[in-house]
Copies of this chain bind each other. A is one copy, B any other.
Amino acid sequence: MTDINTLSPKNVRLKIRNAEYTSQTSGLCKGFTQANLVVLPKKYVIDFFAFAQRNPKPCPILDVTEKGDPHPKLIAPDADVRTDMPKYRVYEKGELIGEYTDILNFWNEEMYAFLLGCSFTFENALLNANIPVRHIEEKRNVPMYITSIECVPSGVFRGPLVVSMRPIPYQLIVKAVQVTSRFPQVHGAPVHIGNPKEIGIKDIDKPDFGDPVTIKDGEVPIFWACGVTPQAVAMKAKPDIMITHAPGHMFISDVRDENYSIL
């Protein structure tokens, strides 16, 4: 049997499409960019587009499909966003109505799919620079926090910035800023370094999403804008229907991470 870790993005997507793979995508197709999904009907699209433009750090758009077209032509032209992710969540008026392995029954001609950059890309860059990523070491989900920083609103879309946190040894902080600055399309440089209270985080050991991780002596918590932000904001806007990926069950693109570095 073929080891899935050796397959190309296209072949992994085919396995997912055929329901032969239904788990999280972390670690698959190393070096290829994975993306968050937000599907919305046409009437919300201009406002969501403008929300992303106004808040590029949490909402880096990698691709947007044409109306009713499920193919992300920029990042994986032969993929189908309705079937090629292992698990989806469907929301009606902001309420989760279920998890599905495809969204063929929910898709219609009015829908647009937004594919948004994800922190996997810059975590690979950190690891390549010998910067430790604690939640990977501890096999947990990255800790995420709702901050006191408000996103710039757009139409019905408004809400606080959500950040992810990685503890970094103080002698590697500058390097971590440099490495992630190279990738503005996948959250880019940190939004905050140090004292969590400065951005409204009361207890670093109690993340709002994900799991807490160990912060060792000599390490400083560094916070990056998180792709959960647009989903949280869209959910609060209670659109008639919204579809996202299930946490960790991402879209695997044909684009290599390095393609998104600007230096």
User: Do A189 and B262 touch across chains, with their CB atoms under 8 A apart?
Assistant: yes
Contacts of A35 in B (CB 8 A): none
* Cα–Cα, bound, A155→B69 (Å): 12
Interface size on A, residues (CB 8 A): 25
Contacts of A181 in B (CB 8 A): 262-263
Contacts of A178 in B (CB 8 A): 263
A3-46 to B contact mask, C-beta < 8 Å, 1/0: 00000000000000000000000000000000000000010011
User: Do A66 and B262 touch across chains, with their CB atoms under 8 A apart?
Assistant: no
Copies per complex of this chain: 2
A196 within 8 A of B: no
* Cα–Cα, bound, A122→B36 (Å): 32
In chain A, residues 237-263, which have Cβ atoms closer than 8 Å to a Cβ of chain B?
A: 262-263
> Given A184-B184, A262-B181, does the pair A54, B66 have CB atoms closer than 8 Å?
no
In chain A, residues 59-93, which have Cβ atoms closer than 8 Å to a Cβ of chain B?
A: 61, 63-64, 66-67, 73-74
A193 within 8 A of B: no
* Cα–Cα, bound, A53→B60 (Å): 10
**What are 7 inter-chain pairs, A to B, with CB distance below 8 A?**
A42-B46, A46-B67, A49-B64, A53-B61, A66-B154, A66-B155, A74-B152
